[in-house]
Chain A
Amino acid sequence: MKPNKYMNPYMAGFLLGLVLLGTIYVTGRGLGASGAIKRVVVTSVVEVAPQHSANTPFIKSYHEEHPGGPLKDWLVWEVIGVVIGSFFSGVISNRVGIKLERGPNITNSTRIIAAIIGGALFGLGSQLGRGCTSGAALSGMAVMSFGGIITMIAIFGSAYSFAYLFRKLWLK
């Protein structure tokens, strides 16, 4: 079966905006993603290497400030929801399936390595920026946060300035 077409971007954006607005109205805060990854990762590190974590101030203080494990965390549940919502959307639009998407000129392993490196940079950057595209940029824009909006400008500005260097990853 052929995958269905994507939704009109403005329509999708409007719906996403309503989801964000509803979230702010109910909870007083916006959406996020990197925070959930952080929560899971830190908890895992603490579980796997308790001795080491006790000696790493950042992990120690974060863990102490967020007691109760990942399943008590708002963002973790939100990301579980993202998985369900995305999967559901994929199912109704025939887009589910094991797949690796890459530019035409690179191998599968290059793509995987690039994805891991990109992820690592994003993970690191989102800690410095106190949030990623969703938590800092999008939610920040909705509440007119200065920090959120300059983070957004930095993300997209930097991506544009590096785009030429990495064009081989994506273009013919």
Chain B
Amino acid sequence: MGPLVPNIISNEFNLIVALIAGIGFGFTLEQAGFSSTKKLVGLFYGYDFTVLKVFFTAGITAMIGVLLFGQMGILDLCLIYINPTFLWSALVGGAIMGLGFIIGGFCPGTSVCAASIGKLDGLAFVFGSGLGVIAFAEGYPMFEKIYLAEAWGPVLINEKLGMSKIVFGFLLTAIAFIAFFLTRLIEKRVNNDQSKLPKKRILAYVSAVGFAFFVLIVIAVMPDRYSRLESRMNQAFAHSDLTSVEVPADKLATEIVNNYYRTNIIDVRSPEAFKAYHLPFAINIPFDKMTDRQWKTILDQKHKTNYFYADDQQLARKGYLKAQFLGKAENYILIESSSDFKNLFSNLTPPDSNASKNELNTYNFRQKAATDMKILVEALKNSTEPVIVKTSKIKGGC
């Protein structure tokens, strides 16, 4: 599941990704005509709206793609970088950039693009940008107040407008298409252009608009990955017989004593319950948190066997079923609840004098297992402390 950096693609290889992304970026900018200031500033005098067309099309394409990937469950939208909002510096900075745009005729990306094909004005603009950065760095104390004011964090525009992402997606896409239509009218008037679009082109545009809305509708009606998972799990819960994968406490204890290195004991209860008591070597993966990417390495591996337990049979079974859908690991369920396990091994009561041989054997076995588990836990204390996995945050910027 994306983003692939840093868990699937390393940070070093990421630099090669940067190079490839840059090549794609530069190529499309230049092909679109962004290496020419005449084309760029045309936007502001109404004779050429290429910038708006390219920019808006790219924006909605990527936006719809991000929504689609998120809904399909192949991109974790909680992990992608959202530019933080600093209200005043965003507005003032934007206004200064706009002034720079109309005077210089470029923005930083397009100036690099222009300089690359030999435009001297592009090169001058890049040089100027460097000066601007130095001016900011040197004068930082002067800008600091506005730079840090009204820090709202990574807020999303749809939240601000009080609508869902998909509704905003529809809205922005509609705005883009209306803008394309209106700017064509303006462009024609400013350039005294009487020409009509060829039929083929009109057909292509109409189908592109249709396709965009079609994808948006698909996103709107498609259940997301987790609700799909949930419904499959509930179905399986109602229909499947899980007795074959249920393991009694004695067997699990033997497994812990002899093969602790090949087992994952997974507690699907809440962190509080886990803290109060948990089985030796248990890892706490609360049921609702099982889909978090940090548990993937446990729920989807082939080296260790996973044993699930909880305080009630229902929850343990649900945890087992969820794990079955989430990964390919070998999973089992502990029949007993955690408190039963505690009673069986921690609060052992010796059998009375007239107990049968069988009862005595069981008692001896449990006592030994309990001591062994205690010794093992003590001996491996440092190496088995649950590792707190930090969720990786992607650093961003312009």
Q: A residues bordering B, Cβ < 8 Å?
A: 6-7, 9-10, 12-35, 37-38, 40-42, 45, 56-59, 62, 72, 74-90, 93, 95-102, 111-112, 114-163, 165-167, 169-171
Contact = CB atoms under 8 A, between A and B. Distances in A.
A131 B83 contact: yes
Contacts of B95: 125, 154-155, 157-158
Which has the most chain B C-beta neighbours within 10 Å: A23, A75, A131, A143?
A: A143
Interface of B: 2-5, 9, 14-33, 35-39, 41, 43-45, 50, 53-63, 65-66, 69, 74-75, 79-87, 89-122, 124-138, 140-141, 143, 146-147, 152, 154-160, 165, 168, 172, 180, 205, 208, 394-398
B155 A146 contact: yes
19 contacts: A16-B25, A17-B65, A19-B28, A27-B18, A28-B2, A82-B113, A85-B25, A115-B121, A118-B106, A119-B126, A120-B131, A124-B96, A126-B93, A141-B59, A143-B66, A145-B84, A154-B95, A158-B101, A161-B98
Contacts of B19: 77-78, 80-81, 84
Nearest to A100: B120
A21 B362 CA distance: 61
A85 B24 contact: yes
Given A37-B129, A151-B94, 20 more contacts: A6-B32, A9-B50, A15-B31, A19-B25, A24-B80, A28-B3, A29-B394, A75-B397, A82-B26, A85-B27, A89-B28, A101-B36, A124-B96, A132-B107, A134-B398, A146-B156, A147-B84, A155-B94, A155-B98, A158-B96
Contact of B108 (A7, A77, A132): A132
B158 to A, nearest CB: 6
Nearest to B89: A128
Given A82-B112, A155-B98, A115 B157 contact: no
A121 B104 contact: yes
A24 B75 contact: yes
A33 B109 contact: yes
Nearest to A152: B94
Contact of B86 (A86, A147, A161, A169): A147
A58 B165 CA distance: 36
A83 to B, nearest CB: 4
Given A13-B32, A135-B398, A170 B45 contact: yes
Nearest to B159: A146
B177 to A, nearest CB: 10
B138 A112 contact: no
Given A20-B62, A143-B80, A119 B94 contact: no
Nearest to B46: A163
A2 to B, nearest CB: 15
Nearest to B61: A17
Given A24-B80, A159-B98, A100 B119 contact: yes
B197 to A, nearest CB: 12
B27 A123 contact: no
Nearest to A22: B21
A39 to B, nearest CB: 9
A35 B22 contact: no
A84 B23 contact: yes
A134 B117 contact: no
B21 A23 contact: yes
A118 B104 contact: yes
Nearest to A76: B18
Given A10-B205, A123-B135, A131-B83, A19 B60 contact: no
A166 B45 CA distance: 11
Q: Which 9 A-B pairs have the closest CB atoms?
A: A118-B104, A81-B22, A123-B132, A119-B128, A154-B94, A135-B398, A17-B61, A158-B98, A13-B57
Nearest to A127: B136
Contacts of B89: 128-130
Contacts of B3: 24-29
B319 to A, nearest CB: 29
Contact of A82 (B69, B116, B395): B116
Nearest to B154: A145
B22 A84 contact: yes
Contact of B82 (A34, A143, A153): A143
Contacts of B44: 159-160, 163
Contacts of A96: 117-118
A159 B59 CA distance: 20
Contacts of B94: 125, 129, 136, 150-155, 157-158
Given A9-B53, A77-B18, A131-B83, A119 B129 contact: yes
Contact of B59 (A98, A114, A138): A138
Contacts of B62: 17-18, 20-21, 24, 30, 138, 141-142
